[in-house]
Amino acid sequence: MQPAPLSSGGSGVKVGCAGWSLPRETRPEFPQDGTHLQRYAARFNAVEINSSFYRPHQPATYARWAESVPADFRFCAKLPKTITHEKRLRDCQGLLDAFLPQVTSLGEKLGCLLVQLPPSLAFDAATATAFLRELRQRHAGGVALEPRHASWFTAAADEALKDAKVGRVLADPVLFDAGRDPGGWPSLVYVRLHGSPRMYYSAYARDMLDALIVRLELEAASDASVWCVFDNTANGAAVPDALYLARGLAQR
């Protein structure tokens, strides 16, 4: 018997992992047939594409991925490090023009773009505004930004994100008190869980996940688009954590 698909119940929350690798111990939870992505998508309704941060993919590759998943499945694609870490958001028009035609080959299954900034990149109003304007001229869909410098957790930065309709990621571990809640555009709530106390390795306690289920439901009740992505993949914790959370949402 094949495992039954999971959903987020009536909440509409997108739940998944950073990548679709399946740890050996969780494989009985998934169908035996199909590609890794097809098997993963039988249980989750979203995934984060992190490989796009490191290297480009052909439009045909994105199109193939989109064709292999259910109609309600959504991808979030991470912007390349050439934009965020090398150019540091400056003079990125050519890089955006190269990246976006690739990733938009996902069609309607492209749910969001993720802009993860290096910890050393401080908020500069002129740079941020110019970059977000260039991005928005080319892409009207969901955008979530994960800053890691304290200057991004200020009223000025928050207003710049709201003006561009960009959600600020709620990331765990929380680096600054102002980051305990999502920020920026309130219609996109993006929760990114890196593992705590050991980033990328630690699994989450069940009572923390239970509290998160309630919080995500409340966010979704406000008609926001809500994502919850587990990035604690280094030791295989992301998939069981995401399964637990998705089950909890489905059962409520």
Class of CATH domain 14-251: alpha beta
DSSP one-letter code for 92: -
Tens digits of residue pLDDT in 172-195? 999 999 999 999 999 999 999 999
Boundaries of every domain in the chain: 14-251
Confirm whether pTM is higher than 0.85: yes
pLDDT value of position 1: 41
Q: Do the Cβ atoms of 127 and 160 come closer than 8 Å?
A: no
108-152: per-residue pLDDT in tens? 999 999 999 999 999 999 999 999 999 999 999 999 999 999 999
Distances (CA, A) of 52 to 68, 82, 83, 126, 144: 18, 11, 11, 26, 15
Distances (CA, A) of 198 to 163, 235, 240: 35, 11, 17
pLDDT for residue 252 = 75
CA-only gyration radius of the chain, Å:
17
* HSE-up of residue 159 (Cα within 13 Å, Cβ side): 6
The per-residue pLDDT string of the chain (252 residues; one tens digit each, 9 = 90 and over) reads 445 556 555 568 999 999 999 999 999 999 999 999 999 999 999 999 999 999 999 999 999 999 999 999 999 999 999 999 999 999 999 999 999 999 999 999 999 999 999 999 999 999 999 999 999 999 999 999 999 999 999 999 999 999 999 999 999 999 999 999 999 999 999 999 999 999 999 999 999 999 999 999 999 999 899 999 999 999 999 999 999 999 999 997
Q: What are phi and psi of 188, to 5 degrees?
A: -130, 115
